[in-house]
Amino acid sequence: MSVVTLLTDFGDEDAYVAEMKGVILGIVEDMRIVDISHKVTPYSIDEGAFLLLTVVPYFPKGTVHVAVVDPGVGTSRRGIVVETETCTFVGPDNGLLIPAAKRCGVFRVFEITNTGYMLPSKTHTFHGRDVFAPVAAYIAKGVDVEEIGRRIEDYVDFDFNFVVKNEKIISKVLHVDRFGNVVIGVNDDFVVKRFRYGEKIRFLVKGREYVAPFLKSYGFVEKNELLLTVGGTGFLEVSVNQGSAAEKLDVEVGEVFTLFL
């Protein structure tokens, strides 16, 4: 049996997620549904794309991932299905799905056009329930993606790019986890080539400069001390041993973050 995952910025105070699950279960009654997260910062495509990217390697082949961070819902923004060799993604054509799809290798993108796989009472403001949830359920049930719509090449591309210029790395805060670790959009391959463990790194965020050591893990500094490390996601993060770097730095998702080389 296939697995369907859900990732949204809907939170857990309303019934939106339950409505999506109800649609899926109405099509495949015994579907296994896994919640990735529903606490993506509202409208943050970057954070949603990051979280989706981090989980895809750990799900079984054939998983259908539904991601909805969709500030353009109801506009000319298209709905898409992205098919890879190992899994399928369903969501808005705003770049949200693409980094995860690239991690899975070769992929094809289809615009969702076949209304037969949508709810008959489709609204303008809740495509997560009315379009993406039923499409995902039908794909998990075995419907070929080519039945869902037409293949396209002009999808919205996206990647976690950072700029290296004038001895600086300019990126942004992608995510703050529940421990207050601040994840930066710089991947581990780049970090380990540029910095040595034990090296002191100077960085700038919200107009304030800090200096912290680059270390393998949190326990190499004293409690409440600042450090930089490569987290389990494979991205650079600013952390505080047994404390919150987000509180210490007073930062949120989307803040510009500059490292000095």
Alpha-carbon span 220 to 84, nearest angstrom:
40
CATH topology of domain 163-260: Elongation Factor Tu (Ef-tu); domain 3 (2.40.30)
Alpha-carbon span 248 to 231, nearest angstrom:
18
Q: Find the helix or strand (DSSP H, E) in which 92 lies.
A: strand 87-92
The answer to whether residue 125 scores a pLDDT higher than 80 is: yes
Give yes or no on whether 3-152 and 163-260 have one common fold: no
Largest CA distance in the chain: 59
List all residues 6 or more positions away from 71 whose beta carbon is below 8 Å from its beta carbon. Answer: 43, 45, 94
Mean per-residue pLDDT, 205-234:
97
pLDDT, tens digit, 9 for 90 and up, residues 10-25? 999 999 999 999 999 9
Question: What's phi and psi for 249, nearest 5 deg?
Answer: -90, -15
Position 132 scores a pLDDT of 98
Position 1 scores a pLDDT of 66
Domain ranges for the chain: 3-152, 163-260
Q: What is the CATH number of domain 3-152?
A: 3.40.50.10790
- The mean predicted confidence, pLDDT, of the chain is 96
Amino acid letter, 51 = L
Given a contact cutoff of 8 angstroms between Cβ atoms, the answer to whether 131 and 148 are in contact is no
Given a contact cutoff of 8 angstroms between Cβ atoms, the answer to whether 187 and 201 are in contact is no
Tokens for 45, please give them: 């495509």
Long-range own/partner contacts, residues 10-15 (CB < 8 A, 24 or more apart):
10/38, 10/68, 10/128, 11/38, 11/39, 12/38, 12/39
pLDDT, tens digit, 9 for 90 and up, residues 156-172? 999 998 999 999 999 99
